[in-house]
Amino acid sequence: MRFLANENFPFDAVAALRQNGHDVAWIRIESPGISDPEVLNRAQVENRILLTFDKDFGELAFRSKLPATIGIILFRIKAPSGAAVAEKVSRVIAMRDDWHGHFSVIEEDKIRMRTLEK
């Protein structure tokens, strides 16, 4: 899958996804400091599912109605270390193949998914 990791996403998780064969671009290296709407636009243009810890993307996708049809995965998990986040991210991403077109919230014990409007 193609992902865009937001600036707040840990390197360990980016590296783990790449090791699992995913194409992952990372804002922290490629475009640090760009605004959330710019991040979302880049994900759309590049056909990448956005990976983030930033709750503002739900607001942008649903209330501001910015284009977000590609998909957003919001992680709301405890992050004691980059390695722990990498393990959780890798495990969760591998569980499903229907991340496209959804706003997904990953919590410690559940996954919530809502279809994004086109």
> Hey, what CATH topology would domain 2-115 get?
Rossmann fold (3.40.50)
Query: Where exactly are the structural domains of the chain?
Result: 2-115
Dihedral of the alpha carbons of 56, 61, 66, 69, in degrees to the nearest 10: 130
Strands (E), the chain: 2-5, 23-26, 49-52, 72-76, 102-107, 111-115
Q: Output the pTM of the full model.
A: 0.92
Helix or strand or coil: residue 6? coil
For residue 51 the two structure tokens come to 């990976």
On the question of pLDDT at 68 being above 70, the answer is no
In this structure, are residues 73 and 106 in contact, taking their beta carbons and an 8 Å threshold? yes
Looking at residues 88-105, what average pLDDT do you find?
Answer: 93
1-57 pLDDT, tens digit each = 999 999 999 999 999 999 999 999 999 999 999 999 999 999 999 999 999 999 998
